[in-house]
Structure 1
Amino acid sequence: MALGFLFGGGVGTEVHGVELHKAYPVMRDLYEEIAEWTGLTVGQILEEDLPEAPEERQSVGTIRETALALGVHDVLVGHGLRPSVLGGLSLGAMTASALAGAVSRQDLFAMLSHSRYAPEPPAGSPEQGLALAFVAADADLALYRGEGRPGVHASGDFGPTADGAMSIIMLSGERAALDELAAEVTPGTMVPLPDRTIAVHSPLRRPYRDFMAPYVDGMTFASPSLPLLSCLERGRLATADDVRDLFHRNATDPVSLVDVYAGMKEEGVRLGLVMGGSIPDGILRFPFPVVHVDRPEHIEQVLTTVYELGIDLPPAGAPR
């Protein structure tokens, strides 16, 4: 009867976690540590406007999302709640790796900070973008994935919606190609994201992956000390090399939330706690109950749900 901690990915534009930061000293201490590791101020990490330059914006945004997720984890641990299984999507998979003891927190934040120096695409390169497709069960999935269409890449599988009527997939690629596809499918079923200018989890991120490769090769990884699930294929990340491979491939390879939560189900998870605000509440269907945690009142909700479900909590001593 395991408790799973689930970490989302991506860089959102909305600010989350301010109330938790005010309420819990352990979270304020964590943000002070992260400020020392990254050279950012606590305000930049927590709530100030993100930078304009795409790679720097992405870097600070990932630091912000990871800080919140780790802060939520530390608050829950303070209430005696420790994960039996860890998993995450994209950035969340790297965050989960730190909590599984496969990489240190300091090294993770140093890597995210270093990513700000990744070169921007050359002048004149096609504008990049992201889109979400809401695909009905009887729809032509190949069409929505842009299969055979230059400039469009299926980059993420978020699984079925809460009502089971549709599945949500993420598309990355050239902005013009995404807009062209959106004009061809059923109106309203494909939504370009106007504020996303980096084609994550697609071949267009190969220059970023190549830039980061020497840095990742220089990082210290260890075998996870807790069950840690991959978002790049179904299964556990069992060795240090597995985790390093995830860090390398994350930028260019498609990700699957379905693989993460299906793996958690196989590991016996009966309750999933979603760390931070990167996975919207109430939109997706999970194979077990979930509680989204990014506000102080959610902590009591978690404690109540754990009690009601009779979840067996693992002993103290999970890696920090």
Structure 2
Amino acid sequence: MSQLDEQSTQIALTTDAFALLKRLISIPSFSRQEEQTATQIESFFQEKQIPFKRLKNNVWAQNKHFDSSKPTLLLNSHHDTVKPNPSWTLDPFEPLEHDDKLYGLGSNDAGGCLVSLLATFAYFYDRPNMAYNMVMAATAEEEISGRDGLELLLPELPPLSFAIVGEPTEMQLAIAEKGLLVLDCTAHGVSGHAARDEGDNAIYKAIRDINWLTTYQFPKVSPTLGPIKLSVTIINAGTQHNVVPDTCTFTIDVRVTEQYTLEEVIDTIQANINATVKPRSIRLKPSSIPINHPIVQAGLALGRYTYGSPTTSDQAVLNCPSLKCGPGHSARSHSADEFIYSKEIAEGITGYIQMLEQII
């Protein structure tokens, strides 16, 4: 393909990707309610004459010349959204173009990444003799870390060598991501009458535990992600003003680095507080990719920088090295009047293609 043909192809793909993003915005696709956006993604593959498969609300395809003897690269992003917050001043489901911005729920997180990756996959779909197979997966339930999204799909995919996960990073290279533990804790006391010296107040026991949590620092600090972060985010106790409560529950949000396993973190916390500790899951592990990996080096060669991401994505369920990278800005995610710059879509497609051209 000549340079002129490549430019024309990228322009056409950008136009199609932008149109798809507007259609996706116009369809409510809250987590577990992504049926219609999955159908729109199917239509994109049909228009490009690319065979695809669907499992619940996950849609995926593989390159035309797939060769099981070659390593496989996964391109992944999600098409579910959070619900719009009350501060929206625009219709979240009306794609509005203004001042080189496209407004709409999911435009930035992660619609821009998704359509850019779909366009990139279409660009490489029928290329012969690539060093990697390529699988594109548009998945559901990312915003709630659901089990019927990428996690459900992974057993259906070929073994993965590495992955690019599309999340808004301004096309910079998030080479590490914190894992997530949510711990439900219960401090146990003894009930009694508040007017007399009776009982053992579970609230006071919980306070002692919480004080430890606010001051403790795990000794090992990640060079990329920094320290593990502990935050008590919910607390509940008591039913009547005159009864000393016998239980107090509180929830800890723990952002875990690659320096510790999730089990090690749980064990350390349980050994140092009196409350019982129950993890909601141990699925959402820290993730990373070596800085000397070819895809990271390809991004660095284009002038990008690496960093560690504090937020959690579908990388958490992958068992292969993964890079988080995509158009858009993380600070716009879940915000009122969410938007993505129109030029960011074009830059995302061009950026992904330039990175992949160096390794395939």
The answer to whether the superposition gives a TM-score over 0.5 is no
**Greater helix share, structure number:** 1
**Greater strand share, structure number:** 2
* TM-score calculated relative to the size of structure 2: 0.29
* TM-score calculated relative to the size of structure 1: 0.31
Q: Look at both structures and tell me which one has the larger radius of gyration over its CA atoms.
A: 2
